[in-house]
Chains A and B, each alone.
Chain A
Amino acid sequence: MIDVKGLNKSFGELHILKDINESVEQGEKVVIIGPSGSGKSTFLRCLNLMERPTSGDIYVDGENITAMSEKEVNLVRQKMGMVFQHFNLFPHLTIRKNITLSPVKLKLMTQKQADEKADELLEKVGLSDKADAYPNQLSGGQKQRIAIARALAMNPEVMLFDEPTSALDPEMVGEVLNLMKQLADDGMTMIVVTHEMGFAKEVASRVMFMDDGRIIEQAPPQEFFANPKNQRAKDFLSKVL
């Protein structure tokens, strides 16, 4: 469903992503791990063109999104949900409005339909009582669950998670990971950048290890964690496990 061909990304002189060729099939749960500065987040953010690649092509459902107009890209983004490290909820809107804003303003749903969808999603993420609260009244874990609900309101085909638990207090990490597991069990295609090795082991169908702008090893989690082949992956795992 996502095919990346010859992807390069530089910020000025800094060459962040180096000639990445990769594809992700529907239903896969890909977890990307690696040291800081290895390009994990940048790679993820290129997939929905939050970052414009310096060169290379990205195909979503067979269409080359790097060649698209801004308008067409926005249509593609509708089916690619994204969850950010810092939640990025809209602080001036209630939780319900946060969830319904996009489907309503894009005329995909009426306000009534969107409200119903929001209620359904709030129940799914276990925050039905917060519909009329504002983001600042929520804890970090609750905010991230709402951010996930907001992305789901667009009925995405794939969900991109950019370090969704890195900004959370330790005791709130679990609630967010549980929700993500639930999503994975529902069959959602997911690409997750994270430092949560437990989550990678349990949920991933494939673990990607990135270092210095390249994907240098990938394997199913059992295999990867038990027997990493690459020396840098071994070093990394010995530090984090």
Chain B
Amino acid sequence: MTDFLQKLHDTFIAGDRWTYLVDGLKNTLIITFFAVILGMVLGFIVAIIRSTHDKTGKLKILNLICRVYLTVIRGTPVVVQLLITYFVIFGSVRISKLLVAVLAFGLNSGAYVAEIVRSGIMSIDNGQFEAGSSLGLNYTKTMIFIIIPQAFKNVLPALANEFIVLLKETSVSGYIALPDLTKGGDIIRAATYEAFLPLFAVALIYLVMVMILTWLVSKLERRLAKNDRR
């Protein structure tokens, strides 16, 4: 037991190495938070363009752009996208690595969110559109007030899953030398020649974050489900 405590001390306390984890966690959270927002906004826009095209045949060019975006993003690994964003797109400008990561992960997540939300919109009975337009509501208002709220509720579990995936995917930020949580643990491993403790600490922190996220989502789901009571 004392051995273990000594080891803990040597790994994390000595040289204030725990700060690698805290700073890393902070970066991980910042990237995830803003990438989720970017992914949501982008995903909803793409989903609405795509389903509007599917339903009405309008927005042909925008739909084409969206399809190219989805194909490229879903067809290539996120690490490659991150590397390209950093070394190619922003290769010749000085730019915060955090910003690059937010952009890369947000753009990536947007593609997955888009398909999730689109499936949600397409799952809503056409009668809901008809009811909206029979009351004189135009397509946009019907979408905003009738379709999207129902679609959102239906796809919430899938969206939550996407965000959990995103949170964990940010662990590849180390590829552009961004000190996120995973990188922080790895720095401690390299410095102490002790792999078990720092890596398990990192794993534990991810696990706790995912569990908290899952709990929050199930709370939200229960609140949104109140109108399903029979």
Residue of A74, A102, A151 with highest tally of chain B CB at under 10 A: A102
With an 8 Å Cβ cutoff, the count of chain B residues facing the other chain is 24
Q: Which residues of B contact A77 (CB under 8 A)?
A: 133-136
Q: Are A92 and B134 in contact (CB under 8 A)?
A: no
Q: Indicate which residue in B131, B150, B229 contacts A92 across the interface (CB closer than 8 Å).
A: B150
Q: Which residues of B contact A40 (CB under 8 A)?
A: none
B104-112, B141-149, B208-216: which lies at the interface: B141-149
Q: Which residues of A contact B218 (CB under 8 A)?
A: none
Q: How far is the CB of B148 from chain A (nearest CB, A)?
A: 10
Interface membership of chain A positions 153-184, coded 1 if the CB is closer than 8 angstroms to chain B and 0 otherwise: 01000000000000000000000000000000
Question: CA of A50 to CA of B135 in the docked complex: distance in angstroms?
Answer: 11
Chain B residues touching A, majority SS: helix
Minimal Cβ-Cβ distance residue in B for A82: B134
Q: Indicate which residue in A50, A80, A81, A89 contacts B130 across the interface (CB closer than 8 Å).
A: A50
Q: Which residues of A contact B84 (CB under 8 A)?
A: none
Q: How far is the CB of A192 from chain B (nearest CB, A)?
A: 15
Q: Are B136 and A88 in contact (CB under 8 A)?
A: no
Question: CA of A89 to CA of B135 in the docked complex: distance in angstroms?
Answer: 12
Does A189 interact with chain B (Cβ within 8 Å)?
no
Does A59 interact with chain B (Cβ within 8 Å)?
no
Q: How far is the CB of B29 from chain A (nearest CB, A)?
A: 32
Q: How far is the CB of A44 from chain B (nearest CB, A)?
A: 11
Q: Are A86 and B137 in contact (CB under 8 A)?
A: no
Q: Are A136 and B138 in contact (CB under 8 A)?
A: no
Residue of A81, A88, A135, A154 with highest tally of chain B CB at under 10 A: A88
Does B153 interact with chain A (Cβ within 8 Å)?
yes
Does A199 interact with chain B (Cβ within 8 Å)?
no
Question: CA of A80 to CA of B128 in the docked complex: distance in angstroms?
Answer: 17
Does A70 interact with chain B (Cβ within 8 Å)?
yes
Q: Indicate which residue in B136, B146, B227, B228 contacts A74 across the interface (CB closer than 8 Å).
A: B136
Q: Are A106 and B128 in contact (CB under 8 A)?
A: no
Q: Which residues of A contact B149 (CB under 8 A)?
A: 92
Q: Are A137 and B230 in contact (CB under 8 A)?
A: yes
Does A236 interact with chain B (Cβ within 8 Å)?
no
Question: CA of A48 to CA of B130 in the docked complex: distance in angstroms?
Answer: 11
Interface residues in A32-87 by Cβ distance below 8 A to B read 48, 50, 70-71, 74-75, 77-78, 80-82, 84, 86
**Would A78 and B136 be within 8 Å (CB), given that A91-B227, A101-B145, A105-B145 are in contact?**
yes
Interface membership of chain B positions 148-175, coded 1 if the CB is closer than 8 angstroms to chain A and 0 otherwise: 0110010000000000000000000000
Minimal Cβ-Cβ distance residue in A for B146: A90
Does B127 interact with chain A (Cβ within 8 Å)?
yes
Q: Are A50 and B230 in contact (CB under 8 A)?
A: no
Q: How far is the CB of A88 from chain B (nearest CB, A)?
A: 4
Question: CA of A80 to CA of B136 in the docked complex: distance in angstroms?
Answer: 9
Q: Are B146 and A50 in contact (CB under 8 A)?
A: no
Q: Which residues of B contact A94 (CB under 8 A)?
A: 227
Question: CA of A101 to CA of B125 in the docked complex: distance in angstroms?
Answer: 19
Q: Indicate which residue in B127, B138, B146 contacts A84 across the interface (CB closer than 8 Å).
A: B127
Q: Are A50 and B136 in contact (CB under 8 A)?
A: no
Minimal Cβ-Cβ distance residue in A for B149: A92
Q: Are B227 and A105 in contact (CB under 8 A)?
A: no
- By Cβ-Cβ distance, the 6 closest A-B pairs, closest first, are A78-B136, A88-B131, A82-B134, A102-B135, A134-B227, A88-B127
